[in-house]
Copies of this chain bind each other. A is one copy, B any other.
């Protein structure tokens, strides 16, 4: 089936471009000796997690227990859950996951650690815990290298836990300074750090400058989007995720209406102008969105559109777009070659 035979709006994944993106990053990680542990929050699709593993990922990263459950059910056996797991209900689900597969989690306080320790009790194997460090993002994590080491020692004192190292997001110059100091304190105390785990697609190609980090959790690199393009991590032609829309009104003078708005593209902007661009003509900008209407500015090289014409739009932020759609079409060139459920989206917890 040709992509223009699809009804709209429809999420498209260019599988050939996905493979090029996976290959390029995996090769880079292998070359520099970093463990690649991709964050599946970007796609939430088990088939793509498996593809990342086939290309050489050591495991995957999830942000929610529900994501990890979907991925474990689909056969992924090594998951780093980079979110404080708190509360009886989630801890009991974490316990079940820990019994089934290799799980590593994070903690940023003694109270979180105590909950994890209780969850791992009687499972016959220690639960691996990284100390989450706030290296500048200020959304969670311990605030200083000394606190990080003290919490690591606390983890080590708990019977059912195994301390694995430090984690942070994103990997930046400030994170490097934090981890350098953490490593120094650990050395003074005779603590061996197994893993220093960072993340983020922005700046990922600078990873070799961040000595000490052993593992990287990139998410968006699988698809790329306008944000990664504007950050210089990828070119527009490296973008593998697009949304097929139709022109539904030509009543405007210098714009047309398409059948995708903030419920299709989200309202994430992160410094971008508008909400997306036409893939093969980036002078055509999706300038305004209401919930289901998108207003597309006519471009310099494309001054007119036909009613019903179908267009592929590259969104600002891939991770939130996949979260809005229940399924995606797999495309190769202009052909639809499959479809995948976005199985880990919309989960309650």
Contacts and interface: CB of A to CB of B under 8 A. Distances in A.
Interface residues of A, number: 60
Contact of A326 (B138, B259, B348): B348
A150 interface: no
A39 B116 CA distance: 45
A288 interface: yes
Nearest to A106: B249
A162 interface: no
Contacts of A41: 291-292
A140 interface: yes
A77 interface: no
A1 interface: no
Contact of A83 (B83, B248, B307, B320): B248
Nearest to A342: B346
Contacts of A108: 249, 251
A307 B295 CA distance: 44
A138 B291 contact: no
A307 B109 contact: yes
Interface in A157-209: none
Interface in A56-91: 63-64, 83-84, 86-87, 89-90
A257 interface: yes
Nearest to A87: B308
A320 B109 contact: no
A267 B289 CA distance: 13
Query: A139, A267, A326 — which one has the most chain B CB atoms within 10 A of its CB?
Result: A139
Contacts of A327: 348
A311 to B, nearest CB: 13
Given A140-B252, A291-B323, 5 more contacts: A7-B87, A109-B251, A139-B293, A259-B349, A267-B269
Counting from the closest, the 5 A-B pairs by CB-CB distance are: A140-B249, A326-B346, A7-B349, A7-B89, A139-B293
15 contacts: A10-B349, A41-B291, A86-B247, A87-B308, A108-B249, A138-B252, A139-B288, A139-B295, A259-B349, A262-B266, A262-B268, A263-B323, A324-B346, A325-B348, A346-B346
